[in-house]
């Protein structure tokens, strides 16, 4: 039994480990019909295979956004009362160690609020998102991490899997970006390269010593090298970035290998509130992030997706908002899938 990363060296290995929808040897329509997948989802899967992303307009309930946004505002007013993980221009820190004024600065993001806020968890597990992701993973989707942005990231062109790589099989990862407000073109919108997700276009970037993922302390190349590489590959493919200007509640779901970026902020007074989650399927979720406990405090299920509370966070003070543990969940479903997960581990 192990949750160690399954190494990928070549394109063929990547495709063998990828979700079924990515595999060119599988007839999408026939396979999806055999599984009983709806015509609506099949249409989305066709777009996914071709473009590397889908956009679901009004993909989440605006009332859930409003609840989460209000909770964020309360958090910012009582910033030092909480111990919430955050990143400030690449520096990892905690809310208690910073002044609340930092919230309005560029380059700030809050880590893993899906295990601090019940409202954030509800956004992660919104029915339309979970329904689509379930058709890709063919098992319950599980968030591995989430990022909450107040301003645009301005991050150069990148692909997620070199940074988000705790899933057992590297290609088994999908990201969802939720607009918490209408996004203005001067706020530093997200942009993506339509159709740029194919390994035949991107190749695989070597971070050093043959590593396909970024490993802190051992990289011989950096994020700017990665951006230069990807931008060159997209230029070769004659692909240009497409600006994403969503309305509140719209959701962009993208492939693990889709190049994307944060465009420059042209008006620093504008916010670009967004909530990003990186998912994997239940049976690729890392074992070390699942509590040994069988009790309900290990996590919960909602709408067919699961959230596990990180074992290293359980029992800590000041790292939860009031809504944590207050939303309606399916604990019978959670216990069932936790048992299935552990049974699968025993079979490995």
| pLDDT tens figures, 113-152 | 999 999 999 999 999 999 999 999 999 999 999 999 999 9
Cα 178 to Cα 125: distance, rounded to the nearest angstrom: 12
Cα 270 to Cα 185: distance, rounded to the nearest angstrom: 10
Rounded to two decimals, the pTM is 0.95
pLDDT at 139: 98
Give 71-85 pLDDT, tens digit per residue.
999 999 999 899 999
Cα 37 from chain centroid (whole Å)? 23
* 30 within 8 A of 194, measured Cβ to Cβ: no
pLDDT at 312: 85
CA geometry: angle 64, 175, 269, nearest 5 deg: 65
Instruction: List the chain domain ranges.
Output: 11-347
* 140 within 8 A of 306, measured Cβ to Cβ: yes
Cα 287 to Cα 217: distance, rounded to the nearest angstrom: 24
Cα 33 to Cα 35: distance, rounded to the nearest angstrom: 5
Both structure tokens of 39: 């015509």
Strands 299-302 and 305-308 come out as antiparallel
Low-confidence stretches of the chain (pLDDT < 70) are 1-10, 294-296
Both structure tokens of 32: 């999806």
pLDDT at 335: 93
Tell me the CATH architecture of domain 11-347: Sandwich (2.60)
Both structure tokens of 72: 């964020």
Residue 92's alpha-carbon distances to 73, 109, 183, 290, in angstroms, are: 21, 10, 27, 23
pLDDT at 8: 53
3-state secondary structure of 230: helix
158 closest CA partner among 121, 188, 197, 111: 197
């Amino acid at each position: 039994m192990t949750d160690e990363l399954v190494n990928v060296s070549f394109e063929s290995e990547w495709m063998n480990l990828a979700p079924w929808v990515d595999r060119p040897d599988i007839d999408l329509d026939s396979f999806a019909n055999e599984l009983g997948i709806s015509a609506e989802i099949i249409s989305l899967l066709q777009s996914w295979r071709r473009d590397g992303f889908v956009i679901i307009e009004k993909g989440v309930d605006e009332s859930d956004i409003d609840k989460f946004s209000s909770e964020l505002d309360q958090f910012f007013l009582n910033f030092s009362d909480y111990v919430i993980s955050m990143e400030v221009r690449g520096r990892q820190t905690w809310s208690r160690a910073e002044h609340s004024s930092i919230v309005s600065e560029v380059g700030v993001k809050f880590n893993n609020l899906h295990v601090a806020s019940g409202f954030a968890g509800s956004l992660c597990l919104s029915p339309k998102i979970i329904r689509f992701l379930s058709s890709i993973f063919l098992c319950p989707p599980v968030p591995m991490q989430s990022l909450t942005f107040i301003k645009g990231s301005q991050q150069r062109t990148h692909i997620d899997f070199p940074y988000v790589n705790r899933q057992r099989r590297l290609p088994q990862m999908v990201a969802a970006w939720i607009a918490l407000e209408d996004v203005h073109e001067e706020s530093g919108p997200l942009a993506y390269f339509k159709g740029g997700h194919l390994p035949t276009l991107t190749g695989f970037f070597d971070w050093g010593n043959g590593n396909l993922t970024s490993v802190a302390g051992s990289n011989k190349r950096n994020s700017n090298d990665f951006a230069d590489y990807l931008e060159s590959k997209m230029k070769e493919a004659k692909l240009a970035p497409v600006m994403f200007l969503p309305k509140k509640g719209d959701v962009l779901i993208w492939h693990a290998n889709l190049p994307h970026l944060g465009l420059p902020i042209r008006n620093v007074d504008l916010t670009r509130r967004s909530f990003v989650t990186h998912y994997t399927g239940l049976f690729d979720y890392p074992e070390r992030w699942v509590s040994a406990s069988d009790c309900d405090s290990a996590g919960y299920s909602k709408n067919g997706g699961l959230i596990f509370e990180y074992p290293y966070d359980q029992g800590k003070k000041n790292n939860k908002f009031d809504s944590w543990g207050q939303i309606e969940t399916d604990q019978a479903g959670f216990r069932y899938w936790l048992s299935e997960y552990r049974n699968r581990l025993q079979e490995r």
